[in-house]
Amino acid sequence: MKHIVCFHLLNDYSGSPMVLRLVLEGLLKRGYRVDLVSSQGGVLEEIRGYKNYHAHHYWYKFSTNHMVTMVRYMFVQLYTFLFAFRFAFTKNTFYINTLLPFGPALAGRLMGKKVIYHYHENAFVKGSAYRILSKVMRLLASKIICVSEYQRNMLNKEKNVIVVPNALNESFLTSVNPDAERTFSNQTVLMLCSLKLYKGIREFFTLADRLPQYHFCMVVNDTEKNMTDFLESEHLVKPDNMTLMARVDDVAYLYNDASIVVNLSHKDLFIETFGLTAVEAMSAGLPVIVPTEGGIAELVEDGWNGYKIDVDEIDKIKQHIDMMLSDKLLYKTLSSNALEYAKNFDGKTMVDTVVRLL
């Protein structure tokens, strides 16, 4: 039985562990033995019922104090570096999800293991620490899986770098209910994001203020308290036509209740390497508005399945939202095209490609 040892730092409900869950369940169904080493909680806890699966947990979470987060992070790297040696005398491949778990990647190379990185971030816009981790990855990795052509081009490394776009799991696809007639009538603009201003939170509030005839829903990947504290600190007041939600475990119903999904990331501060929420939206038949750069821009053909507009053109975004939600024929055409395009992101195809690499 082939054996994969996977390391992932923070198990939550963000994109990278969601994709990892899809990959690991695909491996388990193909008979691989999988050991996962990650923090407690999050979507990876939902992998159950496999005799060939073993999860190993530690405690870890981010802190608002950057120094505290760094101390916790370095402790986890030391812990997982040492923990990795329990797999020294068995034949296996180390599968490193995201740039962050450099400790076990180093241990794997010292033991002569094959080390596969699944690279989700954009290290070159996230600060010096991530750029250092990118160099570590390029030094330690036997192969690197990128999620978009944009991401691969930024790495500036030709050998042993493979593009494998993210995909959606079957349980999500069976939970969404594409119906352009219904979603058009919902008249709702949805944004899912982390609790960062560069994700376009302030601009989303502005759009809601300026388009009172539509409903706006923002879902942040954080706790209710952190969301409330953040909005107070930024002096953001919720408009009457807006719903604010903290982290949810199952997002499918959000897409069923929406009409359009927007990504308002500031490309000068943060560039999306892929854009899983855009693919999720299109699989529900929802047109999207995304930035003009990054992996997420590769997902949209302007005017066919959505629009590419940067957040600094807020008037243009407003106009396109109004245009889509007031023209049913246009909306249905965009919806149909979005649904057709989403078929390219099949989970089985993605897992098959990763299996060949492993």
Sequence spans of domains, the chain: 3-164, 177-342
Give the global pTM.
0.81
Task: State what percent of residues in the chain have pLDDT above 90.
Answer: 82
Q: What is the pLDDT of residues 23-57, one digit of tens each?
A: 999 999 999 999 999 999 899 999 999 999 999 99
Q: Which CATH class is domain 3-164?
A: alpha beta
pLDDT band at 348 (very low <50, low <70, confident <90, very high): confident
Query: Would you state the pLDDT for residue 325?
Result: 98
H helix or E strand, kind and range, residue 238: none
pLDDT band at 205 (very low <50, low <70, confident <90, very high): very high
Query: Would you state the pLDDT for residue 169?
Result: 81
- Taking Cα atoms as reference points, which of 203, 40, 37 lies closest to residue 107? 37
* Range in 38-52, 144-158, 234-248, 310-324 the model is least confident about: 144-158
Q: What is the DSSP string of 289-323?
A: EE-SSSGGGGG--BTTTEEE--TT-HHHHHHHHHH
* Range in 158-162, 218-222, 303-307 the model is least confident about: 158-162
Average of per-residue pLDDT across 102-127: 93
Average of per-residue pLDDT across 86-109: 97
> Is there a shared CATH topology between the 3-164 domain and the 177-342 domain?
yes
Q: What is the pLDDT of residues 259-300, one digit of tens each?
A: 999 999 999 888 888 998 999 999 999 999 999 999 999 999
Residue 187 clears pLDDT 80, i.e. is over it:
yes
Cα 350 from Cα 214, distance rounded (Å):
37
Q: CB-based contacts of 336: which residues, under 8 Å, 6+ apart? A: 180, 285
DSSP β-ladder status, 215-220 and 188-193: parallel
Contact 185, 325 (CB under 8 A): no
* Range in 44-53, 227-236, 250-259, 347-356 the model is least confident about: 347-356
C-alpha neighbours within 13 Å on the C-beta side of residue 120? 18
Q: What is the 3-state secondary structure (H, E, C) of 146-168?
A: ECCHHHHHHHCCCCCEEECCCCE
What kind of fold does domain 177-342 have according to CATH? Rossmann fold (3.40.50)
